[in-house]
Amino acid sequence: MNDTTSNGLDGLELDVAIIGTGVGGLYALHRARNEMGLNAQAFDDAGGVGGTWYWNRYPGCRVDTESTVYTYSFDMDMFQNWEWSERYAKQSEVLNYLNAVADKHDLKRSINFNTRIASMVWSDDEGRWTLTTKGGDTFKAKYVIEAVGLLSSSYAPQFPDQDKFKGEVLLASKWPEEEPDLAGKRVGVVGTGSTGIQIITALADKVGHLHVLQRTPQWVVPLGIGPFPLETREKIKKDPVGFREWALSTAAVFGFDESTVSALEVSEDERNRVYEAAWQKGNGFAFMLETFSDIPVTPEANKTATDFIKSKIDAIVKDPKVAAMLTPKDYYAKRPLAADNYYDTFNRDNVTLHDVKANPIERFSENGLIIGGEEVELDVLIMATGFDAMTGNYLKIETIGRDGVRLQDEWNDGPHAYAGMSIAKFPNLLMVFGPFSPFTSQPLVHEWQVQFLTEMIEKAQEGNGLIETSLDAQEDWVRVCQEGMAGTLFQVTDSWINGANIPGKPRTSMWFMGGMGGYMQEMNAIKSDDYRGFEIN
Ligand code: NA7
């Protein structure tokens, strides 16, 4: 529903334009308009708030991070009293929550939905950005906050002859609002990342036959779906501020303390006891980070985890050939995956696993797909093929900074940014969870960054209204981040974390690896040092 006609925005003059109304954008709007009294307006391509939770409504979609840390804390009353029904909220519940926040703080009257920002150009003379919508409207803003999403620029490879296919092709990340009826149908799923495994486990007992089209298997552990733990609710109700402080003090902000024990310093029995307990409890991030400290860092430690998961695959999957196909050959160092009963799903008679690396998807036929020369008949094909992560949405907007510099050229060899929030040569342009942000869960971190960057706007408003980033500070930040990532197995294992999932995308590091604690410490030092690396006047 992208608008290509005027949105009635021509001539608008704003203090702050916010692009995106997901978790980061909504809070940025609240801060700028409600708390700082600025003339702020937000813009979203979607027909409602929610960002990634607006678009990703595919079967089985839910957070796989504890709901507790999927909550804003700026509204302490909501933080303390919001009653999540499940340990991992379903997409509909997250969307309801974000709508409830937007309604309570009366945000929607300052949002233009169905409005895509196509370009923005900085003028030094005016000290303003000129933004143009896809519909051709042009307006100005002193500051732009891009809250465009880490994982929201969909990637959907095209297979030849799609026009010949009589069935339907659905993209998981742009799922139709009206739920398609898949009951009894022959359904194919391309992709076995976080999205694919949620769809596969949700649909296996609902469709006629499920064809899983797997290119690369991934290590999957149980999620532990269940009601929201009462004990946690009590803790939050009793001391919400303390709970938030604790969550932010952990390295990755996933709602648990990361382990400080090496997998290699304990006995095999102890290691297996720890892995078994984590397997029973569920949660992919906890399996990787709460069990031992060095799984994503040391190949030998990593192997202890993959040996354990492999033993589970072999025990659960009845057909040894299928078990072998499901067993990854690379490190457990992609974004960790979790879904309940994932491996059991492949024991079902109505589920067939295809290895589309060995037998590639060649093209569509009228009745399905030709895979390795054979026709697989399908009524529906679901593409769960991921995202152009981190940089994708920034690069979709033609962004011209000082002296005609194009963002697309500046990021040709990979992104360059300072503190995950700003870019040299692009004054007054601020990002929520931009490149080189901390490698963490997002909502509480978005909130922390929005607080930081809106305080910079506050300071600029007291002066000439200009926020700039030093090129030297930016390149130092990038170097430190790259060095941090180089010491991990994430960098050498193909995934969206390093850009390897998109053909032609430069493989690069895009993260601050010092944990949230390290990030806050660094950012607080930057602030006390008169916003070192930024020039605010
Ligand atoms: P991911 O994790 O990038 O997974 C995408 C999947 O799609 C992955 O299994 C890919 O296989 C597969 N893929 C991509 N292109 C093709 C083609 N051409 N043929 C066959 N298979 C293909 O994306 P998700 O949406 O699952 O998750 C992204 C994040 O969103 C997730 O981590 C959460 O944080 C939210 P490959 O591994 O490249 O061989």
pLDDT tens for residues 299-348?
A: 999 999 999 999 999 999 999 999 999 999 999 999 999 999 999 999 99
Q: Which residue has the tokens 């990002």?
A: 431
Residue 18 pLDDT exceeds 70? yes
Taking CB atoms within 8 Å and a gap of at least 24, the contacts of 366-374 are 366/164, 366/165, 366/166, 367/165, 367/166, 367/167, 368/165, 368/167, 368/186, 368/188, 369/159, 369/188, 369/213, 371/213
pLDDT interval class at 470 (50, 70, 90) = very high
pLDDT digits (tens, 9 = 90+) for 29-58: 999 999 999 999 999 999 999 999 999 999
Averaged pLDDT, 443-470: 97
pLDDT, average across residues 59-79: 94
Q: Give the distance, in angstroms, between the CA of residue 409 and the centroid of all CA atoms in the same chain.
A: 24
The predicted-structure confidence for 432-451, as pLDDT tens digits, reads as follows 999 999 999 999 999 999 99
Q: Which atom of ligand 1 is nearest to the CA of 385?
A: 7
How much is the mean pLDDT over the chain?
96
Q: Is 501 in the pocket of ligand 1 (CB under 6 A)?
A: yes
Look at residue 302 in the predicted model and tell me its pLDDT: 98
Please report the pLDDT score of residue 3 as a whole number.
52
Helix (H, G, I), strand (E, B) or coil at 41: strand
Q: Is the dihedral of CA 245, 250, 252, 255 positive or negative?
A: negative
**pLDDT recorded at residue 284:** 86
Q: Is the CB of 61 under 6 A from ligand 1?
A: no
3-state secondary structure of 196: helix
Residue 496 CA, ligand 1 centroid: distance in Å: 8
Please check whether residue 196 is in contact with residue 219, taking contact to mean a CB–CB distance below 8 angstroms: no
Question: Phi and psi at residue 207, in whole multiples of 5°?
Answer: -100, 170
pLDDT digits (tens, 9 = 90+) for 256-299: 999 999 999 999 999 999 999 999 999 889 999 999 999 999 99
Question: According to the model, what pLDDT value does residue 6 have?
Answer: 81
d(CA 218, CA 495): 11
Q: Which of 215, 326, 511 to mutate to test the pocket of ligand 1 (most atoms within 8 A of CB)?
A: 215
194 lines ligand 1 (CB under 6 A): yes
Query: Is pLDDT at 2 greater than 70 in this prediction?
Result: no
Q: Please tell me the pTM assigned to this model.
A: 0.97
Each residue of 88-114: b (16+ CB within 10 Å) or e? bbbbebbbebbbebbeebebbebbbbb
Calpha distance 476→417 (Å, rounded) = 10
H or E element in which residue 197 lies:
helix 194-203
Determine the distance separating the centroid of ligand 1 and the alpha carbon of 97, expressed in angstroms.
27
Q: Percentage of residues in the chain with pLDDT exceeding 90? A: 97
Q: Is the CB of 65 under 6 A from ligand 1?
A: no
- What the block records as the tokens of 203 is 């649909």
Kindly give the distance from the C-alpha atom of residue 535 to the centroid of ligand 1, in angstroms, as a whole number.
Answer: 40
Q: Output the CA angle 179-501-222, nearest 5 degrees.
A: 60
pLDDT at 8: 87
Rounded to the nearest whole angstrom, what is the distance from the C-alpha of residue 384 to the centroid of ligand 1?
Answer: 6
Confidence band, pLDDT 50/70/90 cuts, at residue 406? very high
Max CA-CA distance within the chain? 70
Does residue 496 register a pLDDT over 70?
yes
Whole-number pLDDT of residue 7: 80
CA–CA distance, 468 with 487 (Å, rounded to integer): 31
> Can you tell me the mean pLDDT for 233-258?
95
Query: Does residue 1 have a pLDDT over 60?
Result: no
Structural domain spans, the chain: 13-49+107-153+388-536, 220-383
**DSSP, res 267:** -
**CB distance 384 to ligand 1 below 6 Å:** yes
Q: Is 217 in the pocket of ligand 1 (CB under 6 A)?
A: no
Pick the CATH number of 13-49+107-153+388-536 from 3.40.50.2300, 3.50.50.60, 1.20.1260.10, 1.10.10.10: 3.50.50.60
pLDDT per position as a tens digit, 125-180: 999 999 999 999 999 999 999 999 999 999 999 999 999 999 999 999 999 999 99
d(CA 505, CA 149): 18
Which comes out higher in pLDDT, residue 508 or 24? 24
